[in-house]
Structure 1
Amino acid sequence: MSTAVVFRGSVRGLATVRRLPLTLALVVILWVLGAVSGSLINGPGQDLLDQVGIGLAVEPGPWWSIFTSAFFASSLVDYLACTAAILVGVGIAERVMGPWIALAAFIAGSALSALVLVALVTFGTDASDQWLSFLGGEYVVGAYGGAAAALGCSTAALEALWRRRLRTWLLAATLMFALFVGVAQTLQALAGAVIGILAGWAVQSLVLRRRAGSLHSSSLRETRFLVGTVVGVFAVGPLLTQLTGTWEVGPLSVVSEVMLQASPDADEVQEACNNDTNCVTLQGIVGVQSFGAAILTLIPVLLLLVCAEGLRRGRRLAYRLTLVIQLYLAAVTVLSILQYVYDPDVTLGDDDFAYLLLYAVPAVLAPLIIVALLLVNRHKFRVESSDAGYRVLGRTSLILAVAAVIFYVAFWFIEGNPGRSTLLDLAGQLTHILVPFPVPFVVALPQGLLSTVLYGLGGDIIWLCILVLVLNNFRRFRMLASDPAADLGHTRELLHDGGGTLSWMALWDNNQYWFTPDRKAGIAYQVHNGVALTVAGPFGAEEHHADAAAGFLKHCSNLGLIPCFYSATAELDAPLLPRGFRKLEVAEETLLNVQAMTFKGKEWQNVRTALNRADKLSIKDHWYNYPEMPPGIRAQLAEISEEWVADKALPEMGFTLGGLNELKDPEVLCCVAVDDAGLVHGVTSWLPVFSQGTISGWTLDFMRRRTTGFKGVMEFLIASAVTHFKDEVPHISLSGSPLANAGAGAGEGDRSTLDRVLALLGNALEPMYGFKSLAAFKSRFQPEHRTLYMYYQDPLALPSIGIAVGSAYLPGLSPTQSAGLLRQMVAKEPAA
């Protein structure tokens, strides 16, 4: 390791210490006390525990234990978990509120949550509650209550989006641990979270005099997020109970038994195999004790997490799948309870009824509550995939299931299983393959290599493929436009009423359209990676732009899309920034005041040289609409364009960069540099900009030159445009250079994730498309600059937005080209 690397690491470490002194100090105190007291491995000894632990016995511990318990843990794993809780909870609180308030929240939260825990256990013991009374008679240590309280309190200082989101996550996580694990520390953490959130709400409302924020403005998105979180908690909770081993005692801890496949132990496998050594070995390698069986245990968790993500996006498919799964789990749980209750070998006593009341009833109620929650909010999950997406999912799932049944039945008979098992066993084994959840009856294990392999791995293959297909289905949308041609025609009409310098690009391919209810304004956008990426800002009469921007947000929310306004001007500050949007500079548009340009002075030397050279070579500028262009010139334009594209390692770009097809619009003007021999040296295209029905400007789009053409042809063409438009409009735009200045204007420590992604993409494309050199070329015309921004609302969506921008500009990348672009993005030096 070099000295420079060590030095940079030391600098980063010191910076972290300066930013989080309290958090690191608490971690150090925790570990130092643990080491000094010899409690790092197995926790404090009994004598020390009597003094520092929270007493849940009949005789409570000393009063100071509600403070000291936060600085000890019960085992090495518990020390690691407490460290993580402090780093997350106190770390965020310290960054948001400062060290002193964070320390006060941690200490007060530890003490108050300890008192709540003692009160709960005392009440449960007096009421003979099996869960809470089970927790009595022991001492509790851990920093969870204080860390959760500090984190909950810190949410008061956050903006509305993050405040609601962090509170939801905190309550969901602590509630999940309390219900599924249920040990005393989890109850204290839940109490700390509630105390911290209430304290934060009080500070926010009474001290800061800031409204808590209404859910009505974003009720659709927040409801979807909440329902998805509930389903996600119910998915992860059963897995948590399996990972925590035999010491989970929460009311929902038994849910894992009806939701997750349980691998039989060695004795059960021996019995199922009739003590056949070959069968036992085979089951350990590819059967019910193999790695495939462990993966099958995770399938229900992954399936519900995928459903939770779909619910967050408002997907109807996720809604239907979740309903079916929850109803199935409730039915299986009821069936299991009935089997236990009516078993003639079981005599139910008072303790058994108490057990059923505590564990079995919540296991039934939990999925039914989720079903009720879904049904009440069913109208909020209406986002449908495309018909093709549903066909692919249904067809592939059916093919996989039918193939598995056919092959398994064939192998089952070929390998002699009928002599050892019944057809009922065969049916049960097929459900093990086709249904990822445990079946409520016991079946015999298959014997034979092929049937065992398919029994152990078939369900994994089928359901992993289905999960991928479902996730891919969430990326598709049913065609929104009932009449795309009519929408395109109405867009052209609105563009004549008004729009920005880039608005004419709304007429290009791959765009979808949204219009205000009165259809007086609209927005063009593309959907990539779940992001609705607009083509510049709203179009139509200027007085309707703000309403269009606000209405488009609701449209995206209904579809579960992430709204992102790309290459928009500061006009959108007023409607978007109060709604929590941020903006990032993505381009500098260059504007020319054509009526004031004379090409006189030293700074115009390059332009005058180009004009003089064109005059000597008898090159003239000819102006056409493409449909009126002579066939010979059109053929040469196609030749020049193909030559330009063939020189690039990547395909022609799109989105805000037009190609030859975009020239064919009858309202687009083309300026062609042609010599006396009829040879085309270069071409530019100009998009109209309208205001109240009249042309108020033109925007440069298409630029191509013949490689053997005269040097300076582009300067000549733009100078010709200045002369041509001087008497018609006050300004023309040379457009922006996309990704040319991505990452500029911000210090290294202040650059956002998306800023870095766009900078990487811009640097990777620079050798092939020359955006930065194009921006430098445009600066020769002494332009006025106007910043174009990207407006986004959710910082967590930045990676998705970065991928969406790349997909919009390069929609037709092959796998090989994608791999080459990725290598170029991560290369230290750009390719030549």
Structure 2
Amino acid sequence: MVQGKLEPAPLSRRAIARLVQVAGLFDVVTGIAPPRHGRMAWVAEFVPAAGVLTARAGTVVVGLLLIYLGAGLRRGKRRAWQVAVVLAAASIALHLVKALDYDAAGVAAVLLIMLLVTHDRFTAIADPANRWLALRALAGFGAAGFVLGFLEIATRANHLVGTPGVVAWTEQAALGLVGLDGPLEFRHRFGAELVAYTTGACGLLAVAVTLVLLLRPGSRRPHRDGESEERLRELLSRYGGQDSLGYFAARADKSLMWSPDRAAVIAYRVVNGVTLASGDPIGPESAWPGAIGTWLGDAACHGWTPAVLGCGNSAGKAYRKAGLDVVELGDEAIVDTAAFSLAGRPMRGVRQAVNRVRRAGYTCRLVRQRDLGESELRDAVRAAEAFRDGPQERGFSMALSRLGDPRDGDCLLVLCHDADGRLRGLLQFVPWGADGLSLDLMRGDRSAENGLTEFMVTAVLEQGPGLGVRRVSLNFAVLRSVFARADELGAGPVLRLWDRVLRAASRLWQIESLYRSNARYLPTWTPRYLCFPTARDLPRIAVAALTAEAFLPERLGRARVRALEPK
């Protein structure tokens, strides 16, 4: 079964997750609601006031954590189930301590029994890295709370009854972290409460942060051995012409998931609990179901949400057969080099830009990377770094994010020099089978003549047939049909509203300008699709996709894919 789909059992993982969240909300309400006075008087005889207040605060924290656990339980996380069991048991004790609330304790007991009975539904593997990070957080917050409590006792040492030693101070601060009173007695109640509240709050914060980190969606470091890399190159040489995005599977930050017979492979990356594939599987279509099934099985095993960015029509059908939903994400601009021409009114803008740059004395050189000398390649790498707009290397699904790597000898570089021989612009195209190119890198000096990009792209399209290049894939336009249809006569109000929303988003991500710049070359638009389990997963997938493409920062930082200079 595809992870994220509904299960037929009366108590599916989704139903259990909702019940746990409802119980968590109930805990929050009972922790905030005023207690019954009769029961409070009886509890006060056995539990100090600080313990009762800590229990009430703990009930609220437990309730919030149970609500937070819902997402992990829906994904079948074993660790989420283990934590839910502990919290349900703790909730029973807290309800009794805070006010002898037998009704609320009974609800928590029913929740605990339900979780124990359904334990076999939560088998997803936890991320071991989260465990150590959570332990460090627990130790850090616990130590901070202990130190703060100890310092507060030290500053009020003259308010203590008697002359207790440092050992007693230590015991008081340590017990305060778990909401218990220590051996010290203060002359004034304010001092005792202040120490109790400080240490108790830090203790609760330590537990809450630890559990959040422990349950945080995991990730996987990309691992590619020499054998897998060689097999991938072999498949690209045989089947790379099927998909213009196939070569981008060679990115260093993508993992590879193989079919059982290693006849096909899916390139993917795990980002914040989303296993994000891109493009079509590489290999014969008959082997795609095996690779897709292995990838989805791995996602279910770890409790990750599967998603595919930018696959083609055939792959979209294969993913849909495997149980994922499919929607159109946008369109890829593909130009037939044999049919391309600057003549005609529709090409007037491009023609004028090209002629302006040409009159300024600019020239373009098209060369395969393997045919460049070491010094020339080194200069190209440095120029690309210098021309980059911003510190972040963006791209994932349709970018290689490296230049100058010896493994990329078949990449085509477009080097544009001005009249003085200075390198002012650079394009890199990756191979698309034996007769195609796919645009990867586009860099230009911002002080160069206006129209530099059009000049370089046109050089590729005009010289392509002589290089054996029949087709060229340019940039991908997200939701291109919205812009195109909004310009047509009779566009409806919903479409116009959607158009305005995308135009506003374009101020940050250049969605519209990318579409307009591609449309100038009169390409053939080929749809690309997004595949996902259910609609409720779309927000998480969107955040993961924007993070992978480097439009959003990673939660723990993103290791930048560096440009590799030839040795």
TM-score in terms of structure 2 length: 0.76
Q: Give the CA deviation at 1:789.
A: 2.4
**1:102 alignment partner in structure 2:** none
Instruction: Return the index of the structure with the highest Cα Rg.
Output: 1
CA distance in 1, matches of 2:396, 2:552: 12
CA distance in 2, matches of 1:547, 1:620: 48
Asked if 2 retains the 8 angstrom alpha-carbon contact of 1:687 and 1:698, the reply is yes
**2:329 alignment partner in structure 1:** 586
Residue 722 in structure 1 maps to residue 461 in structure 2: yes
1:536–1:700 Cα change, 3 Å: same
**1:790 alignment partner in structure 2:** 530
CA distance in 2, matches of 1:635, 1:426: 64
Q: Give the CA deviation at 1:501.
A: 0.9
Residue 298 in structure 1 maps to residue 60 in structure 2: yes
Aligned partner (choices 453, 478, 484) of residue 194 of structure 2 = 453
1:457–1:301 Cα change, 3 Å: farther
**2:441 alignment partner in structure 1:** 702
**2:396 alignment partner in structure 1:** 655
Asked if 1 retains the 8 angstrom alpha-carbon contact of 2:381 and 2:403, the reply is no
Aligned partner (choices 490, 513, 521) of residue 256 of structure 2 = 513
1:756–1:396 Cα change, 3 Å: farther
Aligned partner (choices 458, 471, 477) of residue 212 of structure 2 = 471
Q: Give the CA deviation at 1:468.
A: 3.3
1:611–1:426 Cα change, 3 Å: closer
CA distance in 2, matches of 1:408, 1:320: 31
Q: Give the CA deviation at 1:785.
A: 0.9
- Aligned-residue Cα RMSD (Å) equals 5.0
Aligned partner (choices 322, 326, 329) of residue 84 of structure 2 = 322
Aligned partner (choices 800, 806, 819) of residue 540 of structure 2 = 800
1:814–1:560 Cα change, 3 Å: closer
CA distance in 2, matches of 1:740, 1:653: 20
SS at match of 2:338: helix
Asked if 2 retains the 8 angstrom alpha-carbon contact of 1:315 and 1:384, the reply is no
Residue 683 in structure 1 maps to residue 423 in structure 2: no
CA distance in 2, matches of 1:717, 1:628: 19
Deviations 1:52-79 (A, max 9, x none): xxxxxxxxxxxxxxxxxxxxxxxxxxxx
Deviations 1:225-270 (A, max 9, x none): 34433433443344455677789xxxxxxxxxxxxxx99569959x
| One-letter amino acid of the counterpart of residue 661, structure 1 | R
Asked if 2 retains the 8 angstrom alpha-carbon contact of 1:317 and 1:384, the reply is no
CA distance in 1, matches of 2:320, 2:296: 13
**1:736 alignment partner in structure 2:** 476
SS at match of 2:520: helix
Asked if 1 retains the 8 angstrom alpha-carbon contact of 2:137 and 2:209, the reply is no
**2:366 alignment partner in structure 1:** 623
1:512–1:759 Cα change, 3 Å: farther
Q: Give the CA deviation at 1:428.
A: 10
Q: Give the total of aligned pairs.
A: 539
Matching of residues 77-88 of structure 1 within 5 Å: none
Q: Give the CA deviation at 1:374.
A: 5.3
**2:508 alignment partner in structure 1:** 764
**1:809 alignment partner in structure 2:** 549
Structure 1 unaligned regions, length at least 5: 1-159, 165-212, 248-261, 274-282, 341-355, 816-832
**2:564 alignment partner in structure 1:** none
**1:536 alignment partner in structure 2:** 279
Asked if 1 retains the 8 angstrom alpha-carbon contact of 2:149 and 2:198, the reply is no
Deviations 1:406-463 (A, max 9, x none): 6546756836666699x9x999977874447xx8x99999755444223124233332
Q: Which has the higher contact order (CA 8 A, sep 6+)?
A: 2
Q: Give the CA deviation at 1:701.
A: 2.0
**1:26 alignment partner in structure 2:** none
CA distance in 2, matches of 1:643, 1:762: 25
CA distance in 1, matches of 2:94, 2:354: 84
Deviations 1:515-558 (A, max 9, x none): 22222222222333432232223222233334434543333222
Aligned partner (choices 400, 409, 412) of residue 666 of structure 1 = 409
Asked if 2 retains the 8 angstrom alpha-carbon contact of 1:669 and 1:685, the reply is yes
Deviations 1:475-533 (A, max 9, x none): 45364666555544443333333241122222224323322222222222233343223
**1:381 alignment partner in structure 2:** 124
Residue 313 in structure 1 maps to residue 75 in structure 2: yes
**1:225 alignment partner in structure 2:** 14
CA distance in 2, matches of 1:448, 1:245: 23
Deviations 1:702-725 (A, max 9, x none): 122333444444333323323433
SS at match of 1:732: strand
Deviations 1:159-198 (A, max 9, x none): x99995xxxxxxxxxxxxxxxxxxxxxxxxxxxxxxxxxx
Asked if 2 retains the 8 angstrom alpha-carbon contact of 1:586 and 1:788, the reply is yes
Asked if 1 retains the 8 angstrom alpha-carbon contact of 2:145 and 2:202, the reply is no
Deviations 1:33-91 (A, max 9, x none): xxxxxxxxxxxxxxxxxxxxxxxxxxxxxxxxxxxxxxxxxxxxxxxxxxxxxxxxxxx
Aligned partner (choices 139, 142, 152) of residue 401 of structure 1 = 142
1:376–1:777 Cα change, 3 Å: closer
**2:268 alignment partner in structure 1:** 525
Structure 2 unaligned regions, length at least 5: 487-491, 556-567
CA distance in 2, matches of 1:263, 1:360: 14
